[in-house]
Structure 1
Amino acid sequence: MRPPPQPIRTGAVWAGIGLALLGHLMCAGLVAAAIWGAGDAADQALIGGSLLGQLVLFAAVVAAGTVLIVKGDRGLGIGLFIGWATGLIVLPLVGFGLCVALISAS
């Protein structure tokens, strides 16, 4: 017999969101480092690094989030999914705004 499901804790959801957003920021930092070191091949490093980093992050979030939800820590698992989706939408917008600000400042 299964134990009754525990309530979803708000703190755990926020922790999952924070962890997923941190994963997005780490991917962006790794891509920025690759671009800085790539020189002339910066376009290829940007596209390849972004896609590969996001695919790895997606696989990690799906695996960890699913295991957490099945094991009973639904708040953290749901937070990971929410944070990954939010970061996927917000991070490119922030990057675009940063690029526009840098171009207009020069």
Structure 2
Amino acid sequence: MGRIVKNNLVILLAAMGALVSMVIVPSSMGYVEYLNGPVLGILFCLMVVIGGFRESGVFSVLLSQLLLRLGTFRQLAMVLVFINNPVAVISPQPDCFVNKK
């Protein structure tokens, strides 16, 4: 039990804080309806897949191959921008652009 608490301390503290805030401010229970189950499920599955890739060492191999092929800092910066830019474009929720009445 102690190892579980030690490994998941941040999650446990966040859950305890959420429970305390619901007890202290009962009106905060209305925020539960803002949770989007499918989106949270997709994000959870994405994090599981990323965690699996990290544990298997795929990212280490990709990074080492990438660093061997790059010659300058400018090339590294361009690759990092190329990798991160699609994530920044895809990340916003489409619902935030719809005018809901």
TM-score (normalised: structure 2): 0.34
Task: Tell me which of the two structures has the higher relative contact order, counting C-alpha pairs closer than 8 angstroms and 6 or more residues apart.
Answer: 1
TM-score (normalised: structure 1): 0.33
Larger helix proportion of the pair? 1
